[in-house]
Structure 1
Amino acid sequence: MILEDFLQFDGNGLYCRYGDFYLDPLQPVANAVISHAHADHAVSGNTNVYATAATIAFMQLRYGKNAGKQLITQPYSKVFDVRGVEVSFIPAGHIPGSAQVLMEYQGTRYLYTGDYKLQPDNTCEPMEFVQADVLITETTFADQNTTHPDPVEEIKKLNDIKVNVLLGAYGLGKSQRLIRMINDYAPQKKVLVHHKVMPINNVYKSLGYNLGAHQLYNRKLMKTQEEWVYIVPPFTFDSYIRATGVKRLFASGWKNLQVNTQDTLFISDHVDWNDIITTINNVQPKQIWTLHGDGRQLKEHFVDSIFVKILN
């Protein structure tokens, strides 16, 4: 039997009262099950943190001793008990260590996706499908008019830009994916990275990921037109708004983050509408619960076939 109150939001985030834990809590809590290490999903200061080894490594890099009082590493697919709820992590394909959280309680399976993507990515584990009675899916781009383009074709656009490029990207996940893709599909480009990004790259290396050729930013190098691509996090990108002698691009699935009309780089680390439908077809849920976006179109689409509940 599906428990309609199995997950509910309160002031600390998404709470499972049957196991007394939070999924990606917004504030420090006693028991936190963390899907991945992005800051909007992994806060510091929790008491007990359940996560994959990669997620914990990134949290330790970011938060140091405040990553959590007790860090409980769990490998993919291994079932562990959290106060009566059987939990396991399933690869989500978002960044290294990202996990869907499969929860089984009284014979019913609830699958929380966290952030996930289906597009190929050589810098993280690929998304895996498992079946569940309830699919709790992010809906960041759950719009029938949104289709993410082929990321390979997007990165190949850099081949036509003959001046240096200032490329904005989030420091964890997107930057490393771009470095690998530039090496693979725009190999004549030379990659520079911001000093805030390099420690994250070192964690990738320790996890066994080869990002390809790149080096720490050097101001003198960017003064030469040698097809440099300088990858910078958002706060630095915004500070370079008056930069001359470079083409400014921001790699994102969001249209409002594209910074010029003649050159765009639509590379998303989230699922689009078609990917969500593919996921639903594979998971085969009896119910769909939506969060992190707008679930209204899914509710309308499945009105005659699957019950859809909008959690937020």
Structure 2
Amino acid sequence: MILQDFIAINEKGIYCLYGDFYLDPKEPVATAVISHAHADHAVSGNRDVYCTEATSAFMQLRYGKNAALTFHILGWQQQINIGGVEVSFLPAGHMLGSAMVLMVYQGVRYLYTGDFKLQPDATCEPIQFCQADVLITESTFADPNTAHPDAGLEIKKLADIDINIMLGAYGLGKSQRLIQLINQHVPDKTILVPHKIWPLNAIYEKFGYQLGNYQIYSRKLMKEQRQFVYIVPPFTFDSYIRATGVKRLFASGWKNLQVNDKDTLYISDHADWNDILKAIEQVSPKEAWTLHGDGNALKQHFDGKLPVKIMN
């Protein structure tokens, strides 16, 4: 029997009552199962953290001694019992080390996606589905009007820009994907990165993901030629809003983060509408519960066919 209170949302995040642990807590807790290392899913200060090896590496780089009291590293599909709930990880395809969390309790299978994507990505493990009774899915882009284009086709837009480019992107996950895509599809461009992205790239390479060529940014370099792509985090990108002599682009699946209608770069690390539908088809759940977005469109789409519960 599916337990409707198997997870609940409280001030600290997504709580599993039956295992007494949190999924991606928003505040430090005693026991945290963390799907991936983005800051909105992986906070510092938890006592016991269950995650993948790559997620642990990113958290320790970012938070140092405050990352967690103890890390418990799980390999893919390795099972561990947490408070009576059998927990295991499957690749989520969102970024390096990102995991979907399969929780089995009293014979019922609950699959929490965290953030996920189906698009191919040479910088992380490809998504791997399993069947479950309940799919607890992110709904960031659960909108029938949202369809993300092929990332390779999008990155090729850079080839037509004959001045230096300031490319805004989140430092962890998106930046590494962009470096690899540019090297693959627009190899004539020279990629520059700030010092803060360098150690993140080193972790990718430690885990066997070669990103290709890039070098540390310097202002002098940007003045010497016209084929540089300078990848910068959002804060830096916003601080150079009046920058001259460069083309400003922001790589995102969100329309409101595009700089203008003409120069767009729709590269998303989340599932779009059709991908969420494919995920539901693959998992074949008896119920779908939505988090991290608006689940109303899914509820309407599956009306009378599949129960959809909106958790947030």
TM-score (ref. length: structure 2): 0.99
Mapped pair 1:239 → 2:217: no
Q: Is the counterpart of residue 254 in structure 1 residue 293 in structure 2?
A: no
Partner residue, 1:297:
297
| Aligned counterparts of 2:29 and 2:174: Cα–Cα separation in 1 | 28
CA RMSD of superposed structures (Å): 0.6
**Could you say which residue in structure 2 is the equivalent of 1:131?**
131
- Equivalent position amino acid for 1:179 in 2: I
Per the alignment, in what secondary structure is the counterpart of residue 279 of structure 1? Answer: helix
Aligned equivalent of 1:150 = 150
1:13-28, aligned counterparts within 5 Å? 13-28=13-28
CA offset digits 1:155-186 (Å, max 9, x no partner): 00001001000000000000000000000000
Partner of 1:80: 80
The alpha carbon displacement at 1:145 in A equals 0.6
Give CA deviations for 1:52-75 in whole Å, capped at 9, x if unaligned: 000000000000011100111010
- Counterpart of 2:178? 178
Pairs within 5 Å for 1:67-146 = 67-146=67-146
Give the aligned partner of residue 209 of structure 1: 209
Question: Displacement, 1:206?
Answer: 1.0
- Aligned match of 1:264: 264
Cα displacement string for residues 57-95 of structure 1 (whole angstroms, at most 9, x for unaligned residues): 000000001110011101011111101000000000001
Structure 2 match to 1:288:
288
Which residue identity does 1:9 align to in structure 2? I
Match of residue 311 from structure 2: 311
| Percent of matched pairs sharing the same residue | 67
| Aligned mates of 1:262, 1:5 — CA distance in 2 | 47
Counterpart-to-counterpart distance in 1, 2:220 and 2:261: 29
**Alpha-carbon separation, structure 1, partners of 2:255 and 2:58:** 28
Which residue does the alignment assign to 1:39? 39
Amino acid at match of 2:85: V
Indicate the residue corresponding to 1:188 in structure 2: 188
Match of 1:9 in 2: 9
1:272, distance to aligned residue in structure 2 (A): 0.3
TM-score by length of 1: 0.99
Cα shift at 1:225 = 2.6
CA distance in 1, matches of 2:238, 2:222: 17
How far apart are residue 36 of structure 1 and its match? 0.1
Q: CA deviation at 1:196?
A: 1.3
**4+ runs of 1 displaced by more than 6 Å?**
none
Task: Tell me the CA shift for residue 105 of structure 1.
Answer: 0.1
Q: CA deviation at 1:226?
A: 3.1
The C-alpha deviation readout for 1:259-287, integer Å capped at 9, x for no partner, is 12221000000000000000000000000
Q: 1:40 aligns to what SS in structure 2?
A: coil
Do residues 221 (structure 1) and 218 (structure 2) align? no
SS in 2 for 1:238: helix
> Could you say what secondary structure the match of 1:269 adopts?
coil
Residues 168-215 of structure 1, C-alpha deviation per residue, up to 9 Å, x if partnerless?
Answer: 000000000000000000000000001111111111111111000000
The one-letter code matched in structure 1 to 2:19 is G
What residue is the counterpart of 1:279 in the other structure?
Answer: 279
Q: Which runs of 5 or more residues in structure 2 are unaligned?
A: none
